[in-house]
Structure formats: structure tokens, C-alpha cells
Amino acid sequence: AIDYQNLAAAGILCYIGAYVFITYDDYDHFFEDVYTLIPAVVIIAVGTLLFIIGLIGCCATIRESSCGLTTFAVILLLVFVTEVVVVVLGYIYRARVEDEVNQSIETVYNEYNGTNTDAPSRAIDYVQRQLHCCGIHNYSDWRKTRWFKESRNNSVPVSCCKPNVSNCTGTMSRPGDLYPEGCEALVVKKLKEIMMYVIWAALTFAAIQMLGMLCACVVLCRRGHDPAYELLVTGATYA
């Protein structure tokens, strides 16, 4: 059964890794360190490897192969160590998220030009709509941006407008129409949540790998110390 759990775990890990990649892609303008994605890369690699391990484990269990079970246990140990590394990296990069966002968010807002063809502009509009926020700390931060000074209409982007407000133009003369909370803290919170998904996934499946190693070791010990079990397995194999 543990082999089928490995196959299921492989699919779940790959899904989580892909989810982290896709979500981070929406926020990639807010951090410059590409190494932040290392845990996601590793977890996808581990998921792929787990799929292969699951197949090896299924074959080894069916055939009761000592060589196959030993290989299965050793690879599971390597995967277990890798998942521990993912947890450590996850905590390291989770702690660095806030500094990364703080260093880059002001630059991204200054690059905003209000067009859909501009990547930073799309990123800001997406974040403000999804996280229900406006500006860095609040909507008044838009006054410091180049876009605001060039537009000269005392307005913020319409992505700052609350969805339940009709005919909102983003004018600062009606602050009640705008999201009151800034985006910086919410972006940091979102990215930290994503990293926690990776950490918890790695911890959960590290426990599964430990169980897999124990099962493989139990079977190997029974083969090595129980002649009757060896005879039964040999007879079943020939049958």
C-alpha cells in the first residue's frame, strides 16, 4: 500500500510545486531573488522521483526482490533527506520574503504606466484586485509615483476601487470607494503562505517516506531471518 501512497504523493507534490510556480509568477515583480523558487523546483523534482520510486516499490513488493526492496529503501532515504532540505530552504526563503518585497515594491510602483501591455502595470493591477489593496502602505502612496504626477487627475488606478462601488473612477476625493489597506504587507503575507504550503507538504511526505523505509526494512529483515518466510515467498514466486 505504501507504494501506491508514493504514487499519490508524487502527484500531490508535483501539483503543489506547479501551484507555487504559477502563483509566484503573478508576484515575481515584487522580488528579485530567483533562488526563492528553489524549494518549488526541488519539490517538483522530488514528486517526479517519487513516481519512479512508487513503480520500483510496486515491482519489488510483488516480486519480493531483496535487491529491489533495498534499492527502494535507499532511494526513499535520499528523498527523505531531500525533503528535509526543502523544509530548511523553505524556512530560509520565507524569512527573506519580507526584505525582498520591501526592496522592490517601490520600484515596481514607480514603473507603473497604466497599460495592459506593461508587465509591472499588469502585476500591480492584478495584486490590487486580488488582495483588495491600494498603494504600498495605503492609497496615498500613489501620489509619489511617476504615473500619478504625469496623469495629474488626482486619481489612483481603478484596480484600487472596491468591487461593490459602482462608477468608481479612482479619484482620491472619494477615499471611501478605495481599498484602505496597502499591498506591501498583503503581498508578503501571501508569499509566506505559499512557502508554508511547500514546508508543510515536505514535512508530511517526509513522514510518508519514513514509513516507506520502515516497511521495506521490515520485509528485508523477515526475508533474512525467517527461513519459512523465504520458502513461502520462493514457492509463491515459482507458482
Greater model confidence, 96 or 68: 96
Q: pLDDT tens digit string along 52-69?
A: 666 666 565 545 556 666
Q: What is the mean pLDDT of residues 90-100?
A: 80
Highest mean pLDDT among 47-51, 78-82, 107-111: 107-111
> Can you give the pLDDT at residue 211?
74
pLDDT tops 70 at residue 37: no
Q: Which residues contact 83 (CB under 8 A, 6 or more apart)?
A: 46, 202, 203, 205, 206, 209
How much of the chain exceeds pLDDT 70, in percent?
67
pLDDT, tens digit (0-9, with 9 covering 90-100), for 101-125: 888 888 889 889 888 777 888 889 9
Confidence band of 239 (pLDDT split at 50, 70, 90):
very low
188-201 pLDDT, tens digit each: 898 888 888 778 87
pLDDT value of position 178: 94
Q: What whole-number distance in Å separates Cα of residue 156 and Cα of residue 18?
A: 34
**pTM for the predicted model, two decimal places:** 0.71
Is a pLDDT exceeding 90 seen at residue 158? yes
Report the mean per-residue pLDDT for the chain.
76
pLDDT one-digit tens code per residue, 140-151: 999 999 999 988
